[in-house]
Amino acid sequence: MHEEPKEKYSLVQENSSKVDLPTRNLSSFSVFFDKVHSINGLHLLSAVSQIILGSLVVALSVLDIIQPVWVASIMTVIGSIATITGMYFAYYVFSRSSTFDSLLNRAIKRVINNQN
C-alpha cells in the first residue's frame, strides 16, 4: 500500500507519552462534568429548579403552612404539574444529549451506508 512520507519536524514526537483520562487525578465533580459536557447547562438547571420548587410547593401545602385550604389545594396541583414538567424536561435534555448522534458520527454512518 501507499505510505505517506513522515515529516521531518512533526509537532508530536513518536516517543511522546499518551495522556489518558484515568491517569489524571480528577475529582468526582470534574469527572461528572466531563461525562455530561454536551448537555446544555441552562436547560438542566431549569429542569432541576423546576423539580425542586414544585416539590417544595407541594410539601408546604401538605404541611398546612399555606392556610386557606382552597389556596393550598390549588398550589398542590400547580406544584405537581411543575414537578412533572420538570422531570419530563430533564428526561428530554438527557435523551437529546447522546454523543452517538453528533454531526460527525452521522456523516460517518451515511458514508458507510452509501458504500454498501
Domain layout of the chain by residue ranges: 39-115
Q: How far is CA 111 from CA 102, 105, 106, in A?
A: 14, 10, 9
Taking the C-alpha atoms of residue 107 and residue 110, their distance in angstroms, rounded to an integer, is: 5
State the pLDDT confidence band at 101, using cuts at 50, 70 and 90: low
Taking the C-alpha atoms of residue 101 and residue 108, their distance in angstroms, rounded to an integer, is: 11
Average of per-residue pLDDT values in the chain? 77
Q: What is the pTM of this model?
A: 0.55
CB atoms within 10 A of CB 58: 19
Q: Does 80 have pLDDT greater than 60? A: yes
